[in-house]
Amino acid sequence: MKKERRSFIKKAGLGAAAIGAGIATSAVPVIAKEKKFRWKMVTTWPPHFPVLGEGADLFAKWCDEMSNGRLKITVYGGGELVPPLGVFDAVSQGTVEMGHGAAYYWAGKAPASQFFAAVPFGLDAQGMNAWILTGGGMKLWEEVYAPFNVKPLLGGNTGVQAGGWFNKEINSISDYKGLKMRIPGLGGKVVAKAGGNAVLVAGGEIYTNLDRGVIDATEWVGPYHDLKMGFYKAAKYYYWPGWHEPGTALEITVGKKAWDSLPKDLQAIVEAAAYRSNMWMLSEFESKNEAALEELVNKHHVKVKMFPESVLKELKKLSKEVLEELAAKDPMSKKVYEHFLKFKKSKNAWDALTEEQYQKFKHL
């Protein structure tokens, strides 16, 4: 009986208001607000993938809690509903309401998207947050995604990533000649410019490729993930720092139609959940990576190596070439690159007096 009643009330649309006409003015908005949203979020990560997939799960949980069940989002791992690299299209076409991933995966559709994930020798996490959230970056990101009817939200950050796993030492830039390395995106273009062979290998196949010598090197994320992947069994050296991804931003995307269908309070809830997810993910990485690194070094005897300064200098020069070529080919990339560069210049000057000094005085 109860179920039938509820179903009737739902269908009637007006709910309680339809009954007690005398109080309709007060009760209508109350009931109308109770519209339930049952959304799907597809992700580029394996289901419940540490930190990244967990962040997506938490985002959904927070939306559920804050909306008291009015916005329930079911999170799907990559491949469960659409392939990992089909996430953007699914959101764009309205097949699902939301996506979770990183903007550089969509470089083929919108080259400028790469600036909102990771730029070699670009901004770190604090810089990406400042640029995107209060420095004008978000407006540009929205402009890049607008033709696809997708609204971007900043949803996380990995912090400075690891430089990667190598089976040979990198002592000069010439050591990149002929190096077969799994490294996607702009970083891959830089490695190719250095004479290397940047190859794409899906996450699940990296270990075998490295172990069998099909590739000589790979980058992935950082110690917390790399430990789980077992790379230490297949590669000798763990190189630092991740010049190619100094603060990779993660994104939460919403289809325009889905976003517009949300009442204002649920829109605000989705935005705040994205902020919380952003801060949670970075904090989680920052508090878990070191313990994993220590396990790699102390238990698995991994050799931690730094890229020589001369190599970083060359890689930085090549990165600039890669970015300028991108800007020359694509007007939107040019627009974003110029904004990014201007912000980066100002942030560098600020960091020189603040965070750079902080990093120095910890050694005193």
Sites for its own copies among residues 222-241 (CB under 8 A): 240-241
Binding mask 189-218 for its own copies (x = CB under 8 A): ------------------------------
Name residues whose C-beta falls within 8 Å of residue 93's C-beta, 6 or more positions apart in sequence.
none
Stretch that binds its own copies, among 74-82, 90-98, 133-141, 212-220 (CB under 8 A): 133-141
Q: According to the binding rule CB under 8 A, does residue 14 interact with its own copies? A: no
> Restricting to residues 96-125, which ones interact with its own copies according to CB under 8 A?
121, 124-125
> Restricting to residues 325-354, which ones interact with its own copies according to CB under 8 A?
343, 346-351, 353-354
Q: Which is nearer to its own copies, 31 or 214 (CB)?
A: 31
CB of 291: closest distance to its own copies in angstroms?
A: 7
Name residues whose C-beta falls within 8 Å of residue 330's C-beta, 6 or more positions apart in sequence.
111, 112
Q: Rounded distance, CA 61 to CA 40, Å?
A: 13
Cβ proximity of 90 and 96 under 8 Å: yes
CB of 350: closest distance to its own copies in angstroms?
A: 4
CB of 89: closest distance to its own copies in angstroms?
A: 29
What are the Cα distances from residue 25, in Å, to 14, 29, 36?
11, 8, 22
Q: Which is nearer to its own copies, 9 or 332 (CB)?
A: 9
Q: According to the binding rule CB under 8 A, does residue 248 interact with its own copies? A: no
Cβ proximity of 97 and 255 under 8 Å: yes
Tell which residue, 237, 209, 238, has the closest CA to residue 221. 238
> Restricting to residues 135-164, which ones interact with its own copies according to CB under 8 A?
135, 159-160, 162
Cβ proximity of 117 and 249 under 8 Å: yes
Candidate residues 140, 242, 336, 337; the one interacting with its own copies per rule CB under 8 A = 242
Q: According to the binding rule CB under 8 A, does residue 364 interact with its own copies? A: yes
Candidate residues 72, 109, 256, 276; the one interacting with its own copies per rule CB under 8 A = 276
Name residues whose C-beta falls within 8 Å of residue 110's C-beta, 6 or more positions apart in sequence.
144, 145, 147, 148, 332
Candidate residues 236, 306, 324, 331; the one interacting with its own copies per rule CB under 8 A = 306
Question: What is the full DSSP assignment across 230-260?
Answer: TGGGT-SEEEE--TT-SSPEEEEEEEHHHHH
Reduced DSSP (H G I as helix, E B as strand, rest coil) percent helix, strand, coil of the chain, to 5: 55, 15, 30
Candidate residues 43, 253, 289, 333; the one interacting with its own copies per rule CB under 8 A = 289
Candidate residues 127, 152, 187, 188; the one interacting with its own copies per rule CB under 8 A = 127
Question: What is the full DSSP assignment across 168-217?
Answer: S---SGGGGTT-EEE--HHHHHHHHHTT-EEE---GGGHHHHHHTTS-SE
| Order of strands, sheet of 150-157, starting from the edge strand that comes earlier in the sequence | 71-76, 37-43, 98-101, 249-255, 150-157
Q: Which is nearer to its own copies, 179 or 318 (CB)?
A: 318
Query: How many other CB atoms are found less than 10 A from the CB of residue 45?
Result: 23
# residues contacting its own copies (CB under 8 A): 90
Q: Which helix (H) or strand (E) holds 120?
A: none
CB of 197: closest distance to its own copies in angstroms?
A: 24
Stretch that binds its own copies, among 140-148, 177-185, 203-211, 273-281 (CB under 8 A): 273-281
Q: Which is nearer to its own copies, 82 or 266 (CB)?
A: 266
> Restricting to residues 15-74, which ones interact with its own copies according to CB under 8 A?
15-17, 19-20, 22-23, 25-27, 30-31, 33-34, 62, 65-68
Candidate residues 271, 303, 332, 334; the one interacting with its own copies per rule CB under 8 A = 271
Cβ proximity of 269 and 71 under 8 Å: yes
Cβ proximity of 176 and 194 under 8 Å: yes
CB of 113: closest distance to its own copies in angstroms?
A: 21
